[in-house]
Amino acid sequence: MKDSNSVTSATKSTLLMTQQQLLEHWQGHRALTRRVIEAFPEDEFFSFSIGGMRPFAIMIKELIAIAAPGAKGLATDTWEQLDEEIDLGQSKSEILSFWDKATEDINYWWSQIPLERFQEDVLAFGMYQNKGYCNLLYFIDNEIHHRAQAYVYLRSLGIAPPAFWER
Amino acid sequence: MKDSNSVTSATKSTLLMTQQQLLEHWQGHRALTRRVIEAFPEDEFFSFSIGGMRPFAIMIKELIAIAAPGAKGLATDTWEQLDEEIDLGQSKSEILSFWDKATEDINYWWSQIPLERFQEDVLAFGMYQNKGYCNLLYFIDNEIHHRAQAYVYLRSLGIAPPAFWER
């Protein structure tokens, strides 16, 4: 990882967190989100809704549209438009395959993100002007946000969701 | 803030994020959570529930129990037990006062957290063994998680919640 190459051990003890630690934090959340997808019955994953909100499958489409393209954008500073209309198939198993592909893609691109990028201004997806670390935290927070809504969906369906604290 | 004192400008460009930036990130989330509390009708704040989950007022009690004591614990490395049974009054306005007091307390304690703490093992609230940054991120993530559940409550009540991306 970049941070271990470009930061000396003397300064490492004064780092809030390393780039590798932030990746592990993100992937830990993504592993939990994967278990929440798995917890849904096939039908309800695509159809269940409360208060006019989107079914969890549509939220997951958004998260997949952001995740690997977001990591690639931070690595290359070349951003394509956010594409939430990608075809992810019509089954949980197909969507889980796309989820797992994104997990690998994130790891691939992460190692190419220059550490300096996190403090630079970036225009994520050509739309979201913010520092790199703010955009990255937004990707993670947005996932926590939608996944928590799926927790309510599951509870409403009488299904116990996976423990929030297990990553 | 500690980081601007203890980290030279030469290394600052290689920081993922500074301690001050992490505080601003947290307080930005807390400002949004405050607006979500405000969006609830008085009664439903204390009583509305889906799928047997806790009313938002009880979740907010948990968040208040964690926030300032968590910042104090990171600053002092002395942890008291998590106390979710604190009396926060019986009205939204009383709870909002406790929320605002916590905002000030977090700022106070934050400036006393040594930067090294984030990479040290801490036993948060005498129960949660993890690195300092992991515990702090957990406090934030747990707030995002429960607030997102309140978004579903509000939608279910026909109320549009505050925009997630405004902090």
pLDDT of B141-160, one tens digit each? 999 999 999 999 999 999 99
Report the share of chain A in percent with pLDDT over 90. Answer: 84
* A48-71 pLDDT, tens digit each: 999 999 999 999 999 999 999 999
Averaged confidence pLDDT in chain B: 92
Average pLDDT of the residues in B35-41: 98
Q: How many residues does chain A have?
A: 167
CA-to-CA distance for A131 and A134, rounded, in angstroms? 5
Phi and psi angles of residue B130, each rounded to the nearest 5 degrees, phi first: -170, 170
The beta-carbon neighbor of A155 closest among B52, B116, B147 is: B52
Chain B, 69 to 88: residues with Cβ < 8 Å from chain A are: none
Superfamily of domain B18-156: dinb family like domain (1.20.120.450)
Q: Which single residue is written with the structure tokens 């926030």?
A: B67
Give the pLDDT of residue A164. 92
Q: Hey, where are the domains in chain B? A: 18-156
Of residues A130, A102, A105, the one with CA closest to residue A117: A130
Name the most confidently modeled range: A11-25, A75-89, B8-22, B92-106.
B92-106
Give the pLDDT of residue B78. 93
Average pLDDT of the residues in B21-28: 97
B16–A152 C-beta distance less than 8 A: no
- The single-letter code of the amino acid at B167 is R
B149–A146 C-beta distance less than 8 A: no
A25–B14 C-beta distance less than 8 A: no
The 10 Å Cβ neighbour count of residue A144 is 20
| Predicted-complex ipTM score | 0.92
